[in-house]
């Protein structure tokens, strides 16, 4: 079955989290089950202008049905060891991702899937060795807790070896909310990432967060792509 793709691009570098700076190719899938006000990829889901930008994107321009064979051929062409599958929310299409991930792993690729943590991962993706970069959303996203925190999904993703949990934070007060989730769901490998759509914003929030993050025993990541290219789209 076809995948609903927003964009494919590379070679580039992973801008966030555990693989920050690694050369990679990106597959960005369309659609998301959340609607975070500050979302940096509203063009994958916001067809009504619900987000902070107020821009209603056009699904006819942004979403493309592509066969697995097609997507595979384009990704392999970038000749990167790492493939990052992002969104939108890629686990919304996870059954359709299985043949693609299987083929990529068969070609020696490492796969990271970036998810908002509201879907439990399919056992075949786990068995294929996919690493999940889980980014549960805090209350400042504007999504209700019921939509953004799905206990069964978080518990299941936390049980997958190699999962990391990355939280977008504005200031040290947000860290208390992270701590509650970490404790409630027994999350390990916690990363804090500053909010920000410009290099100045990212640096400002990261400077405010850094000491407190280290003190709590967590990891800190910047948004390298934003520092380098601000909010520019890759394609
Ligand atoms: S979960 Fe991610 S893609 Fe979806 S609306 Fe929130 S920030 Fe955007």
- Any binding-site annotation on 36? yes
What is the rounded average pLDDT of the residues 175-186?
97
Asked, as a colleague might, if the bond just before 146 is cis with ω within 30 of 0, I would say: no
Residue-level pLDDT at 71 = 98
Structure tokens at 201: 């914003």
Among 36, 85, 115, 119, residue to substitute to test ligand 1 (most atoms within 8 Å of Cβ): 36
Pairing of strands 82-86, 64-66: unpaired
Q: Is the CB of 46 under 6 A from ligand 1?
A: no
Top mutation candidate among 41, 62, 138 for ligand 1, by most atoms within 8 Å of CB: 41
Ligand 1 contact via 36 beta carbon (within 6 Å): yes
The model's confidence at residue 52, banded by pLDDT at 50, 70 and 90, is: confident
Dihedral angle sign, alpha carbons of residues 43, 229, 225, 38: negative
By the 8 A CB rule, do 223 and 15 touch? yes
For the cut 90, the answer to whether the pLDDT of residue 194 exceeds it is yes
- pLDDT tens for residues 84-117? 999 999 999 999 999 999 999 999 999 999 999 9
Segment 62-79 shows an average pLDDT of: 98
Between residues 1 and 60, the one the model is more confident about: 60
Q: Give the Cα separation of 162 and 217 in Å (integer).
A: 18
Question: What would the pLDDT profile of 107-154 be if each residue is shown by its tens digit?
Answer: 999 999 999 999 999 999 999 999 999 999 999 999 999 999 999 999
Q: Is residue 159 part of a domain?
A: yes
Q: Which atom of ligand 1 is nearest to the CA of 33?
A: 4
What lies within 8 Å, CB to CB, of 169 at 6+ separation is 138, 175, 178, 192, 193, 194, 195, 205, 209
35 Cβ inside 6 Å of ligand 1: yes
Q: Which long-range contacts (CB under 8 A, 24 or more apart) does 67-75 make?
A: 67/2, 67/3, 68/2, 68/3, 68/96, 68/99, 68/100, 68/103, 71/3, 71/5, 71/8, 71/27, 71/100, 72/100, 72/103, 72/104, 74/8, 75/8, 75/10, 75/25, 75/27, 75/104, 75/109
Predicted confidence band of residue 230 (pLDDT cuts 50, 70, 90): confident
Whether the pLDDT of residue 235 is over 70: the answer is: no
Q: Do the domain assignments include residue 83?
A: yes
Q: What is the mean pLDDT of residues 64-80?
A: 98
Report yes or no on 218 lying in a domain: no
Determine whether the annotation assigns residue 126 to a binding site: no
Position 188 in a domain: no
Atom of ligand 1 nearest to the CA of 44: 3
Asked if residue 147 belongs to a domain, the reply is yes
**Substitution candidate for ligand 1 out of 17, 55, 87 with most atoms within 8 A of CB:** 87
pLDDT band at 53 (very low <50, low <70, confident <90, very high): confident
The pLDDT mean for the chain works out to 96
pLDDT band at 167 (very low <50, low <70, confident <90, very high): very high
Burial class of residue 92, CB neighbours in 10 A (0-12, 13-18, 19+): buried
The domain containing residue 126 runs over which residues? 3-168
What mean pLDDT is predicted for residues 62-82? 98
Q: How many independent structural domains does the chain possess?
A: 1
pLDDT confidence of residue 234? 64
- 231 is a domain residue: no
Q: What is the CATH number of the domain that holds 75?
A: 3.20.20.70
Residue 43 lies in a domain: yes
Residue range 174-189: average pLDDT? Answer: 96
- The tokens for 220 are 């800190």
For residues 211 and 206, give the distance between their C-alpha atoms in angstroms, rounded to a whole number: 9
Band of pLDDT at residue 158, cut at 50, 70 and 90:
very high
Contact (CB, 8 A) for 44 and 35: no
Tokens of residue 90, six digits:
């890629």
**Is 59 inside a domain boundary?**
yes
């Amino acid at each position: 079955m076809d995948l609903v793709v927003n964009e494919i691009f590379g070679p580039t570098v992973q801008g966030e989290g555990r693989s920050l700076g690694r050369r990679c190719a990106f597959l960005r899938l369309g659609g998301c089950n959340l609607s975070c006000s500050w979302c940096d990829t509203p063009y994958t889901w916001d067809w009504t202008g619900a987000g902070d930008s107020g821009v209603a994107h056009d699904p006819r321009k942004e979403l493309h049905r592509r066969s697995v064979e097609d997507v595979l051929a384009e990704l392999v062409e970038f000749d990167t060891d790492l493939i990052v599958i992002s969104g939108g929310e890629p686990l919304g299409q996870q059954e359709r991702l299985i043949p693609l991930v299987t083929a990529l792993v068969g070609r020696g690729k490492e796969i990271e899937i970036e998810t908002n943590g509201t879907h439990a991962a399919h056992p075949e993706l786990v068995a294929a060795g996919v690493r999940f970069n889980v980014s549960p959303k805090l209350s400042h996203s504007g999504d209700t807790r019921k939509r953004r925190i799905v206990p069964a999904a978080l518990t299941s993703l936390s049980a997958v070896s190699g999962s990391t949990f990355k939280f977008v934070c504005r200031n040290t007060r947000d860290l208390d909310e992270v701590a509650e989730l970490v404790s409630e769901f027994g999350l390990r490998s916690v990363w804090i990432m500053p909010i920000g759509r410009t290099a100045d914003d990212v640096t400002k929030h990261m400077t405010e967060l850094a000491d407190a993050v280290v003190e709590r025993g967590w990891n800190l990541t910047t948004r390298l792509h934003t520092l380098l290219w601000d909010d520019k789209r890759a394609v």
